[in-house]
Amino acid sequence: MKLERNCPLYFPHVLRLLFEKVMIRLFIESRSGPSPLCELLLEKRTSSSESQGTGCGCQGLKRDGAVDISDGNNLKHHNSANVYSEKANETPHAAEHDVLSKLVHLQGGWFMMGTDDPGIPQDGEGPQRRVWVDPFYIEEHEVTNQQFQDFTNQTGYITEAERFGDSFVFEGLLSEKVKSTLSHAVAAAPWWSPVKGADWSHPEGPDSTTKHRMNHPVLHASWADAQSYCRWAQRRLPTEAEWEFACRGGLEDRLYPWGNNLMPRGQHYANLWQGDFPTQNTAEDGYANTSPVMSFPANGFGLYDMVGNAWEWTADWWNIHHNTEEKKNPKGPESGTDRVKKGGSYMCHKSYCYRYRCAARSQNTPDSSASNLGFRCVLDPDP
Ligand SMILES: [Ca+2]
Ligand SMILES: [Ca+2]
């Protein structure tokens, strides 16, 4: 049984209830002078970082993280049908050059990675540290559905979502028909559901298609799928340091790839969420779902959609503990359970997922795939 909107436990209702309780408390306190709670809230409000909610829940999407709620509260782990075999997906052909994204050459050098003013401290955004990256090339936009189709057509590659038979989709994008078939939801983020038949060419389930959006970022690619594509392209996934260097576009200590102002001259610079997450997306930026790549202005390096549109996998394992020691070409921890993703997506809103900043970061298990997660590749210069 799913939690319906008329159920008092339905998440938006709970949120509204909490909000009302806080407002009543603040009203009472305003009559008797500021209390510690009020001062704390005021301090948060005026802080430049404005620490926000911890997320759209997509960092918690795991293939064993979905619980069966079709039978009351009987919690059953959702077992994967198949196990990915990298060997079975070896790619014998290399990509033709003209189907790949244009590369932008970056000089590399020292830059300040992370931030001392973290929007979401528990993500390990800080401390700010001096990091060197060698010169590299990076694709100017996220890998598109067209490019991923070229890859699968040429190699016969089967993605992990296709092997498992499902992938996570944001419920707000599902047709009523697909919604009626759902028996699972993610406990901590009920707006996410594993949908049978959802994969890169059926982003919102079996009755959806990418035909009308071949120039949008490919979604539902797991970390291994992204790696396999980059290998076919004779490229690789960026390290987190390379990705963040690229995101900053040559600017120092700025929130976004273009500066500190989210909407310079009132213009949208990234495909994000406007309205109330997760119930109302006003799509003021023109897009409630993904947008064609390069629909928003490029950063100073000529790179598009570094924040927003689709989240982007990086090569690094996830770790939240960093120090201020200078590092050259850091590659993250030797091992881990999750991989780092960067940039946020069209689902990010400040109230819920303030992660459309260059220093922001999040994670997923490598076999996860979702309707807001994609990637781009990088290339090392000839030695
Ligand atoms: Ca949008
Ligand atoms: Ca992106």
Q: How far is the CA of 336 from the centre of ligand 1 (A)?
A: 32
Regions in the chain scoring below 50 on pLDDT: 1-8, 21-53, 66-85, 88
What's the longest Cα–Cα distance across the chain?
A: 73
CA 68/CA 70 separation, integer angstroms: 6
Residue 250, in any domain of the structure:
yes
Spacing, Cα 286 to ligand 1 middle (Å): 6
CA gap 17, 92 in Å, rounded: 56
Distance 375 CA to ligand 2 centre (A): 7
pLDDT at 75: 27
CA 31-25-42 angle, 5° bins? 80
Three-state DSSP class for residue 369: coil
- 44: CA distance to ligand 1 center in Å? 26
Task: Answer whether residue 138 is part of any domain.
Answer: yes
3-state secondary structure of 312: strand
Note whether residue 326 is domain-resident: yes
By the 8 A CB rule, do 228 and 148 touch? no
CA of 345 to the centre of ligand 1 (A): 9
Count Cβ atoms below 10 Å from residue 180 Cβ, excluding itself. 8
In whole angstroms, give the CA distance from residue 316 to residue 375. Answer: 13
Residue 376 alpha carbon to ligand 2 centre in Å? 9
Q: How far apart are CA 306 and CA 235, in angstroms?
A: 18
Tokens of 207: 């009755």
Q: Which domain holds residue 318?
A: 99-145+220-379
Reported as type and span, the H/E element at residue 179 is helix 176-179
In a domain, 242, yes or no: yes
Residue 184: exposure state from Cβ atoms within 10 A (0-12, 13-18, ≥19): buried
pLDDT of residue 18: 56
d(CA 277, CA 322): 31
- The reply to whether 373 falls in a domain is yes
- 157 occurs within a structural domain: no
Instruction: State in Å: Cα 166 to ligand 2 middle.
Output: 23
CA distances from 99 to 29, 38, 44, 311 (A): 62, 56, 47, 22
381 cis-preceded (ω within 30 degrees of 0): no
Q: What's the gap in Å between 163 CA and the centre of ligand 1?
A: 30
Give the model's pLDDT for residue 188. 82
Helix (H) or strand (E) holding 145: helix 145-155
Q: What is the pLDDT of residue 60?
A: 80
> What is the total residue count of the chain?
383
93 domain-assigned: no
Distances (CA, A) of 11 to 93, 218, 346: 47, 29, 21
C-alpha to C-alpha distance for 63 and 65, rounded to whole angstroms: 6
Query: Could you say which ligand is closest to the alpha carbon of residue 299?
Result: 2
The bound ligand whose nearest atom lies closest to the alpha carbon of 283 is 1
Tally the domains of the chain: 1
Q: Model pTM?
A: 0.81
Q: Is residue 24 part of a domain?
A: no
Cis preceding linkage at 238, omega within 30? no
Residue whose tokens read 């797991």: 222
Sheet of 362-364: strand order equals 362-364, 339-342, 311-317, 373-374
Q: What is the distance between the alpha carbons of residues 168 and 368, in angstroms, rounded to a whole number?
A: 8
Q: How far is the CA of 59 from the centre of ligand 1 (A)?
A: 19
pLDDT at 13: 55
Annotate 23-59 with DSSP letters as a single string.
HHHHHHHHHS---HHHHHHHHHHHSSS----B-SSGG
CATH number at residue 352: 3.90.1580.10
